Structure 1
Amino acid sequence: MKENPNILFVCIPTLPLDLLRESFAGESPHPQILTTPLGILYLSAYMKKNNDIGKVGLLDYNAFLPNIVNYTKIEEYLLAEIDNQVKFEPDIIGISYMFTTSYSFFEVMIPIIRKRWPKALIVVGGIHATNYYKLLLASPNIDIVVRGEGEIAFTELIKQYSNNTHGKIRGVIHKDDVADELHALTVSDQITNLDELPLPDWDLCAMERYATSTGRRRSIGDTLTKRIASIMTTRGCPFKCTFCAAHSINGRKLRFRSIDKVMEEITALNKRYGITLIDINDDLFNAKKDRTILLLKKFKALRIPDLELQIPSGLYVNLLDKDIIDAIIECDIKIVNFAVESGSAYVQKNIIKKNVNLDKAKELVKYCRSKGLTVRCFFIFGFPDETKDLMEETVNYIKELKSDWCTFFIATPLKGAEIYDEFLKRGYIQENMELLSSLFLRDRTFDTKEISAVDLQEFIYRLNLDINFVNNPNFGDGDFDKAIDLFNDILSVYHFHIFALYGLYLSYIGKGAQQEAENILHRIKLLVQSNEQSKEMYHKYKDLLPTRLIEN
């Protein structure tokens, strides 16, 4: 017990351990995405507002992950970052454990944390922690799991710690609570009025690293040079998409921050950190039409030079219309994302239960593109009971949709999502953390009766090359400048991507820029000769290329 306890938060990367070093050596197809750790920053701000505390710090393994290449063992990196970042003795350690893919990193880290601070109270929260609380509490290195949103529960926990009192707090699960299922299954109380949240505790983290990271931004025009930060305008989502586990934390009841509070946060980010690119991190941004339009108008009215908004999680088609699109255009937003997920009406209704209006999606994509917006659509393949014929329905739909870009994912069984139970019931997966932690949004490690893991991954990869690179709809529309922006966005992350370069080649040919096209072709030939990833890509997928120019 300590009246003013010192608090240390810990932020961990989301990539599996075996991909981390590859990611920063430029070899991994899954670079670690760095986005503002909003959950920790809101939690810290709320805690400071409502508790008497001592020192507060953040051990941010995510932001300083590039340092990992300086060490031969992960343990050396973990210990070195403790020495570099933590300058006090914590009484309570709060670890954000959001995704199962962090399992291998967490398992190496947690005994090191415990050994370094044996007397500290170690508390773990997040989506993964909420759904795997029993497994975590079986570890001798973990004292408490917080299930659900953290602000109220963690604040009450600190008060009890400071006052040396004990009592049950909804969502706060101690080791001896596991047997009491009535309490163990509770989730923490939620903040009903989100305006009670102070501005995030940005000073806690290395904002310079986050502001200059690629983040979830899409690079169109000068976007890549802008300083980025994430914000939240809503919490919760009432829909019951079978692939989503976000409700584990934020629940299904929608809660809204006032627009004035949102504008206050954006203004503060710009003044304090020079932020000019805002990434909205909502599950359902366009939940209410009037609010969405008013928020966009208020954003425009801030009149901050070069300020830009992106909504990378996607807009919900059924709640979208031309009025909202017009407000988006008026707000100078360049990119819109539509979370379509499947082009099969059967899959929409009976498998994923999202019920996207597919005809409306086509109309809105066409309208957005006619207004100069870049449209990206999300699709997921490999659901339980999704046959190859149903997948082909989606492929045919995508070809008719003519979105500027399509992002393809593999259905991932996240605990807390309905499809997790379906995959488990069918015997495709087991509750084995080594297996589950290797599952990734573009990887599959298990077969189903509909399709093998290898065939599914190959199907999606070829579809990506065909739809986005070889037959990008902007070629047919003659919008070669937009195509160039799209391919350069890919090359900013995947420098070896010869299909992105081939897309540039076709774009310059379309523009009549013969010399630029020849320069790109020369780059492709050099990469195929000198880069193993480029060489492998070319020899494996050259049948998709409409010409043999590269071999000439």
Structure 2
Amino acid sequence: MNVILVNPPYTLSSQDTNLHLPVQLYPPLGLAYIAGSIRKAGIEVSILDAPALNMSVSDVIAFVNDKKPDAVGFYVSSFSFAIAKRLAEGISAETFVGGPHIHHAPHSLTMIGADFGFRGDAERSFPHFLKTRDMSTPGLVWADDTGIVRANKPEPIKNLDALPLPARDLLPQQKYFSPLDPGRITTLITSRGCPYNCVFCALPTKRSYRKRSAKNVVDEFVLLAKQGIDYVEIQDDFFTLDMQRVRDMCVLLLERGIRIRWGCETRADYVDRPLLDLMKKAGCTNIKFGVESGSERVRNEVIKKYVSNEALFHGFYEAKKAGLKTIGYFVFGHPTETKEEMEQTLAFAKKLNPDYADFHLAMPIPGSDLFSIAVREGKLAPDFWARFMPDDTFPFYVPKGVTLDEMKSLQTKAYSSFYLTPQKIVSNLLSVRSPRDLKVKLRSGWLVLKEKILRA
């Protein structure tokens, strides 16, 4: 048996793929994990990363059909629904889909036109089904003879240490890049899930948390060092939830002489100065904090983030003192949020003064409480995402008393007033370490200017 796993293109266009240049391009870690498990099961597998190879949907269909695999699997998010549908229509082989959209909306399987889907962790269920055709496989989604979609309950993998490592050798490693580091990069997870339930979160694993041991993580770092990796983006949703585990990981990295740089994302109230100092010493170069709103009312009562302004100031301050670059995430347009509170968010971002900031507009994704609120309020049709096209206007949530134009104007103001200052421009130029780093930073700067400030 031969399986191809596809990371779909970002656009349906067959001509202008070169115009869709991302700020960063990370390897599809989820597909690499699944490929590792499929390969361990004795099944031949390959990965086609269309964004990395600059392939259009028609390119992917032609390539896959030419290879004549027995099965093709691809990732489906709400944003790529139409792309997944086009792939399922064009690919001759049996098709399988997975990802957050299928997890939360399994009934969309027939709308996409795929043969089967998987909810939740698929590292065990996918290869098991390929070999056995067991219709009781956990997480399996299929349509019965009457066309009714059936969905088995997924079983989260509790022991993450037991998973085969991602099959990174199947990926075009030289194609990936990050504005945070000029070196040879990859991604890694040390845990899955988050015990919190923020209003915008659509993670399949929300309210659950599973973690790898410190030793298991560091063993992977050792392997990545042998493969010549310079920088690892840790993609945990909540890296420092278990602070002692992070300490243990850092100590092991130091003891084993691993000199890979790395970055992570966590909450500002789950760090302290000794931990941050140790992380810096063990190779951490940057840390990302979700701030969301400058209003404590919005952040805690609406978003349910439950973190104070004081804790945020402390987290950013201590991270900077430890010598880490800081990145802050901010969002405009939460339910009941006023225009004044959105302005408060921008002012708060400037006071925190992270090295980098992302300003987003709230978007209701299936599986999130925000999506349920938007549907209940009549702001979004329940089947909106099944009709969404990649070139359509995104369905941002717009609270009462504010217009979408006002929110977009504030977002433009936020990016321009944050980045277009002499201090930020000089700081970014002084941080350039190589010609490759300069190229990535210029690309990132141009995209922010074009898409967020000039709105071209």
Query: TM-score, normalized by length of structure 1?
Result: 0.74
* 1:80 positional shift: 4.0
Distance across 1 between alignment mates of 2:142 and 2:402: 42
Other-structure match for 1:374: 325
Unaligned 5+ segments in structure 2 are none
Identity %: 24
* Contact kept in structure 2, 1:299 and 1:331, CA below 8 Å: yes
Question: After superposition, what is the alpha-carbon deviation per residue over 1:425-453, rounded to whole angstroms, capped at 9, x for unaligned?
Answer: 1111122236645599x955675433222
Indicate the residue corresponding to 2:64 in structure 1. 82
Equivalent residues of 1:259, 1:295 under 8 A apart: yes
Q: Which residue of 2 aligns with 1:508?
A: none
Match of 2:108 in 1: 135
| Distance in 1 between residues matched to 2:241 and 2:389, nearest whole Å | 32
Residues 169, 402 of structure 1: alpha-carbon distance in 2 compared, 3 angstrom cutoff: same
Aligned partners of 1:177 and 1:32: how far apart in 2?
45
1:237 aligns with 2:194: yes
Q: Which residue in the other structure is 2:48 paired with?
A: 59
Which secondary structure does the structure 2 equivalent of 1:100 belong to? coil
Measured after TM superposition, the shift of residue 192 of structure 1 is: 1.0
SS of alignment partner, residue 136 of structure 1: helix
Alignment of 1:111-510 (within 5 A): 111-113=89-91, 116-117=92-93, 120=94, 122-139=95-112, 141-161=113-133, 166-176=134-144, 184=151, 186-209=152-175, 213-214=176-177, 217-219=178-180, 223-224=181-182, 226-246=183-203, 248=204, 250-272=205-227, 274-305=228-259, 307-311=260-264, 314-430=265-381, 431-433=383-385, 436-438=388-390, 447-470=398-421, 481=427, 484-485=430-431, 491-494=441-444, 496=446
Alignment match, 2:12: 17
Distance 2:140 2:386 in 1: 26
Distance between the aligned counterparts of 1:443 and 1:39, measured in 2? 25
Q: Which amino acid aligns with 2:240?
A: N
**Do the aligned residues in 2 keep the contact of 1:152 with 1:188 (CA within 8 Å)?**
no
Q: Which has the higher helix share?
A: 1
Higher strand proportion, which one? 2
2:443 maps to a residue whose letter is V
Q: In 2, Cα distance between the equivalents of 1:43 and 1:333? A: 27
User: Can you list the C-alpha shifts for 1:144-193, whole angstroms capped at 9, x where unaligned?
Assistant: 121111122213312323xxxx4422211220299888x63x43212111
Q: 2:22 aligns with which of 19, 31, 34?
A: 31
Distance 1:401 1:235, change over 3 A: same
Distance, in Å, in 1 between the alignment partners of 2:301 and 2:8 is 36
Residue 439 to residue 341, structure 1, CA distance change in 2 (3 Å): farther
1:21 Cα offset (Å):
5.6
Indicate if the aligned counterparts of 2:362 and 2:396 stay in contact, CA closer than 8 A.
no
1:353 Cα shift?
0.5
Cα drift, residue 396 of structure 1: 2.8
1:96-150 per-position Cα deviation (integer Å, ceiling 9, x unaligned): 21x211123223222111xx33xx3x221111121222122245x4221211111
Separation in 2, partners of 1:422, 1:329: 41
Distance 1:60 1:237 in 2: 28
TM-aligned CA deviation for residue 279 of structure 1: 1.0
For 1:386-413, what per-residue CA distance to the aligned partner results, in whole angstroms no more than 9, with x for missing partners?
Answer: 1112212222322322323321111111
Instruction: Indicate the structure whose relative CO is greater, using CA pairs within 8 Å and at least 6 residues apart.
Output: 2
C-alpha spacing 1:393/1:282, structure 2 compared with 1 (3 Å) = same
CA distance in 2, matches of 1:404, 1:169: 46
Q: Give the match's secondary structure for 1:17.
A: coil
Point out the structure with max Rg over C-alpha.
1
Match of 1:100 in 2: 78
Tell whether the 8 Å contact from 2:12 to 2:390 is kept in structure 1 after alignment.
Answer: no
**Distance in 2 (alpha carbons) for counterparts of 1:78 and 1:438:** 17
Q: Which runs of 5+ in 1 are unaligned?
A: 69-73, 500-532, 542-552
Using the TM superposition, give the Cα deviation of residue 490 of structure 1 relative to its aligned residue in structure 2, in angstroms: 7.5
Distance 1:45 1:426, change over 3 A: same
In angstroms, what is the RMSD of aligned CA positions? 3.1
CA distance in 2, matches of 1:447, 1:436: 18
Q: Closer, same or farther in 2 for the Cα pair 1:434/1:160, shift >3 Å?
A: closer
Look up the match of 2:4: 8
Q: How far apart are the structure 2 equivalents of 1:489 and 1:405?
A: 18
Contact 2:7 2:74 in 1 (8 A): yes
Aligned mates of 1:203, 1:360 — CA distance in 2 = 41
